[in-house]
Structure 1
Amino acid sequence: MMTALRSLFLIGVALLVVSCASSPTGRNQFLLISPEAAILESETAYLSTVGALDEEGKLVTDPNLMGRVGRITGRLVTIAEQNFPSSQSWQWSVAIIDDPETVNAWCMAGGRMAVYTGLIDQLELTDDELAQIMGHEISHALANHTAERMSRALATTIGVIAVGAAADNRGAAMTGTALLANVALELPNSRTAETEADSIGMELATRAGYDPEAAVTLWQKMGSLGEARPPEFFSTHPAPENRQATLQQQISSMRALNPDRTKAPITEIEIVR
């Protein structure tokens, strides 16, 4: 056991030294989990999560809502693939989860997303605001924030991985890394990561033909939900007090990117059902 732990420690140190990357804003990222591994393990976690939701009858099959989410997200994906060519190989998909009490949305590494009906209905989202939400979530994946959160999760679950290594059980180790993708969904992004996703997401939405002003009205609506019952979204998306002001300052430059709000072509993506 001690030998296995020592080996794992040395491997971890080596990964920490060599696994560095830069976010789209130029920020240095030190990753224990590579972006490629994050995509692979996120697929396993996503299929497991969606499968369970399907068994519970929680996946929306309303064609109108599916079409709306598909059109908006499809335009964002078009711009994402233009600006981030590596994402062209991603398996883009969205699960619309029928849960009126949950105000949340997320995107795993590799473009596998989910949005809850509670987010859309409770906030009475316009198309422009929904585009800001989905653009923000897609940006977390594009900027390798999933890999960052998985790396943080790895630091707290290193014992689980060590057990698999000590037993020379590759299956157990793989299960542990897949679990990290699920754990990562529950972890909040850093304030820096949130700022990156705000900026990248606003640009994606603007280039896709949606109003950047909606980024501000979205967070105004979020704030109106009140502190008595904070939405699930806030648990993984911390909102500093100056967030709306920061977004407001970017609106003018964003509008210049697409002054006529020309809608981007729609990339066909999978709406899970």
Structure 2
Amino acid sequence: MPSAALSTLSRRRWLLAAGAAAVAVPALAQVAVGSASRLRHLVPAEQLEQSAAQQYAQLLQQARAKGALVPDGDAQVQRLQAIARRLIPFTPPWNERARQWQWQVALIRSDEINAFCMPGGKIAFFTGILDKLRLTDDEVAMVMGHEMAHALREHAREQLAKNSATGIGLSLGAQLLGLGDLGNYAARLGGQLLSLNFSRSDETDADLVGLEIAARAGFNPQAAVRLWEKMGTATGSNGQGLNFLSTHPSGPQRIRQLQANVPKVQGLYEQARRR
């Protein structure tokens, strides 16, 4: 068979395999989001999660050395951990790998308005987002659910796959025999995890998935609208410490979209409150 035909056949087989492995939207989901990206399969999930765990540990070690890591006995840390414990049981339908994740929650002293969840369930909040925005528990749950959703939907894995495919001139045909050196490359890419910019569709995805997870856990979905109204107000301030908003832009369209989806999960919230 001519090499060109072999290349076309190989590409089709790869696409079919990637499609078969794509994470489906849970059957009982109330929000409408698409299936997770097929491209993410170019980066091995286990290696990326291991790399994220190492980077997270280094981050906490550095924060501890600077006296910036808030101890576990602190009331704010316990508050974050309690909210996480309510959200975590509702994560596996969005990603089966979440059942095995070793979830962690940390609080770092910083004026930055920021929070994140790395692949594998490694969560960090900065004190600035809690203090400057005076977040209620419901609003914290919306932030945390949003960040969890990025990890569950493997947006970082997808973005790194795009970066790696471009950076090393990936040949799809060569990857059919096993991902070549891409697995090792994925480990090195872990250092980019805190500097990734997600797409507008990724942000919408995380908004809606996080909204549903939080509602199922008994947090008021109306808080998502209030949260982003607060974010919008913060955007109009002096602009200092708004790292969260640089990667999670606020705006009327985002708020309208959340308002349209709150009624879809309101029943889940009310049911959770009756439990």
Which bin holds the TM-score, normalised by the shorter protein?
0.7 to 0.9
Where 1:225 maps in the other structure, the secondary structure is helix
- Answering whether residue 267 of structure 2 is matched by residue 259 of structure 1, we say no
Deviations 1:134-178 (A, max 9, x none): 00111111111121122233246539xxxxxxxxxxx9x84x533
Deviations 1:107-148 (A, max 9, x none): 111101111000000000000000000001111111111211
- Answering whether residue 103 of structure 2 is matched by residue 92 of structure 1, we say yes
Q: Compared with structure 1, are the counterparts of its residues 14 and 34 closer, same or farther at alpha carbon in structure 2 (3 Å cutoff)?
A: farther
Between 1:129-138 and 1:22-31, the stretch displaced more is 22-31
| Within-5 A mapping of 1:58-207 | 58-61=68-71, 62-81=73-92, 84-99=95-110, 101-155=111-165, 157-158=167-168, 174=184, 177-207=186-216
Using the alignment, how far apart are the partners of 1:263 and 1:60 within structure 2? 34
Where 1:60 maps in the other structure, the secondary structure is coil
Where 1:210 maps in the other structure, the secondary structure is coil
- Answering whether residue 258 of structure 2 is matched by residue 247 of structure 1, we say yes
- The count of corresponding residues between Structure 1 and Structure 2 is 239
Using the alignment, how far apart are the partners of 2:103 and 2:188 within structure 1? 21
- TM (norm. structure 2) is 0.77
Q: Compared with structure 1, are the counterparts of its residues 58 and 15 closer, same or farther at alpha carbon in structure 2 (3 Å cutoff)?
A: farther
- Letter paired with 1:193: D
> Which residue in 2 is equivalent to 1:221?
230
Deviations 1:14-49 (A, max 9, x none): 997554534633334312313333212211221222
**Please, which runs of 5 or more residues in structure 2 have no aligned partner?**
1-10, 26-32, 170-180
- Contact kept in structure 2, 1:33 and 1:151, CA below 8 Å: yes
- Letter paired with 1:219: W
Using the alignment, how far apart are the partners of 2:38 and 2:247 within structure 1? 19
Deviations 1:222-258 (A, max 9, x none): 0111344061002222335400000001111211113
Computed over aligned residues only, the root mean square deviation of the Cα atoms, in angstroms, reads 2.7
> Which residue in 1 is equivalent to 2:221?
212
Q: Compared with structure 1, are the counterparts of its residues 15 and 229 closer, same or farther at alpha carbon in structure 2 (3 Å cutoff)?
A: farther
- Letter paired with 2:186: T
Using the alignment, how far apart are the partners of 1:240 and 1:77 within structure 2? 28
Where 2:221 maps in the other structure, the secondary structure is coil
**Please, which runs of 5 or more residues in structure 1 have no aligned partner?**
1-12, 160-170, 265-273
- Contact kept in structure 1, 2:70 and 2:77, CA below 8 Å: yes
Q: Compared with structure 1, are the counterparts of its residues 238 and 182 closer, same or farther at alpha carbon in structure 2 (3 Å cutoff)?
A: farther
Using the alignment, how far apart are the partners of 2:14 and 2:136 within structure 1? 43
Using the alignment, how far apart are the partners of 1:23 and 1:95 within structure 2? 30
- Contact kept in structure 2, 1:94 and 1:114, CA below 8 Å: yes
Identity value in percent: 34
- Letter paired with 2:195: E
- Contact kept in structure 2, 1:45 and 1:178, CA below 8 Å: no
Runs of 4+ in 1 over 6 A off after TM superposition: 13-16
- Letter paired with 1:135: G
- TM (norm. structure 1) is 0.78
Using the alignment, how far apart are the partners of 1:222 and 1:249 within structure 2? 19
Q: Compared with structure 1, are the counterparts of its residues 249 and 44 closer, same or farther at alpha carbon in structure 2 (3 Å cutoff)?
A: same
| Within-5 A mapping of 1:7-22 | 17=15, 19=18, 21-22=22-23
